[in-house]
Protein backbone atom coordinates (compact mmCIF):
# COMPACT_ATOMS: atom_id res chain seq x y z
CA UNK A 1 0.00 0.00 0.00
CA UNK A 2 1.34 3.41 -0.86
CA UNK A 3 1.55 6.31 1.55
CA UNK A 4 -1.13 8.11 -0.47
CA UNK A 5 -3.47 5.10 -0.21
CA UNK A 6 -2.82 4.85 3.55
CA UNK A 7 -3.63 8.54 4.01
CA UNK A 8 -6.79 8.14 1.92
CA UNK A 9 -7.95 5.27 4.13
CA UNK A 10 -7.01 7.20 7.29
CA UNK A 11 -9.16 10.13 6.17
CA UNK A 12 -12.06 7.81 5.32
CA UNK A 13 -11.83 6.13 8.73
CA UNK A 14 -11.78 9.49 10.51
CA UNK A 15 -14.78 10.63 8.45
CA UNK A 16 -16.71 7.44 9.31
CA UNK A 17 -15.93 7.78 12.99
CA UNK A 18 -16.96 11.42 12.93
CA UNK A 19 -20.33 10.51 11.40
CA UNK A 20 -20.91 7.84 14.06
CA UNK A 21 -20.24 10.26 16.91
CA UNK A 22 -22.28 13.02 15.26
CA UNK A 23 -25.34 10.83 15.81
CA UNK A 24 -24.80 11.61 19.50
CA UNK A 25 -23.38 15.13 19.31
CA UNK A 26 -24.04 17.22 16.21
CA UNK A 27 -21.07 19.55 16.65
CA UNK A 28 -18.58 16.68 16.94
CA UNK A 29 -15.73 17.27 14.49
CA UNK A 30 -13.18 15.27 12.54
CA UNK A 31 -10.52 17.34 14.33
CA UNK A 32 -11.46 15.73 17.66
CA UNK A 33 -11.13 12.27 16.12
CA UNK A 34 -7.83 13.12 14.44
CA UNK A 35 -6.40 14.40 17.74
CA UNK A 36 -7.57 11.32 19.63
CA UNK A 37 -5.93 8.89 17.20
CA UNK A 38 -2.86 10.96 16.34
CA UNK A 39 0.35 8.95 15.94
CA UNK A 40 2.24 11.73 17.73
CA UNK A 41 2.95 11.48 21.49
CA UNK A 42 0.01 12.33 23.69
CA UNK A 43 -0.36 15.73 25.24
CA UNK A 44 -3.17 17.10 27.40
CA UNK A 45 -5.24 18.08 24.34
CA UNK A 46 -5.02 14.58 22.90
CA UNK A 47 -6.02 13.06 26.22
CA UNK A 48 -9.11 15.27 26.39
CA UNK A 49 -10.06 14.21 22.85
CA UNK A 50 -9.70 10.55 23.85
CA UNK A 51 -11.78 11.18 26.99
CA UNK A 52 -14.45 12.80 24.83
CA UNK A 53 -14.61 9.76 22.53
CA UNK A 54 -15.05 7.40 25.48
CA UNK A 55 -17.69 9.63 27.06
CA UNK A 56 -19.71 9.58 23.85
CA UNK A 57 -19.44 5.78 23.65
CA UNK A 58 -22.05 5.44 26.37
CA UNK A 59 -24.62 7.06 24.08
CA UNK A 60 -24.01 4.77 21.10
CA UNK A 61 -25.97 1.61 20.47
CA UNK A 62 -24.03 -1.66 20.51
CA UNK A 63 -23.59 -1.81 16.73
CA UNK A 64 -22.30 1.76 16.50
CA UNK A 65 -20.03 1.23 19.50
CA UNK A 66 -18.55 -1.94 17.99
CA UNK A 67 -17.93 -0.21 14.66
CA UNK A 68 -16.43 2.86 16.37
CA UNK A 69 -14.01 0.67 18.35
CA UNK A 70 -13.01 -1.22 15.19
CA UNK A 71 -12.30 2.08 13.44
CA UNK A 72 -10.27 3.46 16.37
CA UNK A 73 -8.28 0.21 16.47
CA UNK A 74 -7.58 0.49 12.72
CA UNK A 75 -6.41 4.09 13.14
CA UNK A 76 -4.10 3.03 15.96
CA UNK A 77 -2.70 0.17 13.84
CA UNK A 78 -1.87 2.77 11.19
CA UNK A 79 0.34 4.56 13.68
CA UNK A 80 2.36 1.43 14.52
CA UNK A 81 2.60 0.07 10.96
CA UNK A 82 0.57 -3.08 11.61
CA UNK A 83 -2.35 -1.72 9.57
CA UNK A 84 -3.08 -3.61 6.39
CA UNK A 85 -1.27 -6.77 7.49
CA UNK A 86 -3.36 -9.92 7.95
CA UNK A 87 -3.26 -11.07 11.57
CA UNK A 88 -3.36 -14.73 10.48
CA UNK A 89 -0.99 -15.08 7.53
CA UNK A 90 1.08 -11.90 7.90
CA UNK A 91 0.66 -10.89 4.26
CA UNK A 92 -0.43 -7.47 3.09
CA UNK A 93 -4.20 -7.09 2.76
CA UNK A 94 -5.06 -5.86 -0.76
CA UNK A 95 -5.95 -2.17 -0.98
CA UNK A 96 -9.30 -3.03 -2.62
CA UNK A 97 -10.30 -5.06 0.45
CA UNK A 98 -9.20 -2.26 2.77
CA UNK A 99 -11.25 0.22 0.73
CA UNK A 100 -14.31 -2.00 1.22
CA UNK A 101 -13.68 -2.78 4.91
CA UNK A 102 -10.96 -0.41 6.16
CA UNK A 103 -10.99 -1.83 9.71
CA UNK A 104 -10.52 -5.45 8.62
CA UNK A 105 -7.89 -7.54 10.38
CA UNK A 106 -7.64 -10.34 7.81
CA UNK A 107 -7.21 -10.95 4.12
CA UNK A 108 -10.34 -12.36 2.44
CA UNK A 109 -9.04 -15.97 2.46
CA UNK A 110 -8.31 -15.93 6.18
CA UNK A 111 -11.53 -14.06 6.95
CA UNK A 112 -13.55 -16.76 5.19
CA UNK A 113 -11.64 -19.42 7.13
CA UNK A 114 -12.28 -17.62 10.43
CA UNK A 115 -15.98 -17.23 9.67
CA UNK A 116 -16.33 -20.91 8.75
CA UNK A 117 -14.64 -21.82 12.02
CA UNK A 118 -16.76 -19.39 14.06
CA UNK A 119 -20.02 -20.07 12.17
CA UNK A 120 -19.66 -23.69 10.94
CA UNK A 121 -23.21 -23.80 9.49
CA UNK A 122 -22.48 -21.07 6.91
Average the pLDDT over 4-14 and give the result. 94
Instruction: Summarize pLDDT for 46-95 with one digit per residue, the tens.
Output: 567 677 777 788 788 899 999 999 998 999 899 888 999 999 999 999 99
Query: Does 115 lie in the same domain as 91?
Result: yes
**pLDDT value, residue 43:** 53
| Number of domains making up the chain | 2
Regarding whether 66 and 8 lie in a shared domain, the answer is yes
Per-residue pLDDT, 39: 65
Spell out the SS3 assignment of the chain.
CCHHHHHHHHHHHHHHHHHHHHCCCCCCCHHHHHHHCCCCCCCHHHHHHHHHHHHHHCCCCHHHHHHHHHHHHHHHHHHCCCCCECCCCCCECCHHHHHHCCCCCCCHHHHHHHHHHHCCCC
| pTM, full prediction | 0.79
Domain residue limits at 113: 85-122
Amino acid sequence: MTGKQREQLRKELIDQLTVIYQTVREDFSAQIVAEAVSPEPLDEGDESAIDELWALDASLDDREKHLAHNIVDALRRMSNDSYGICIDCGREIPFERLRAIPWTLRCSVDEERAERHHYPTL
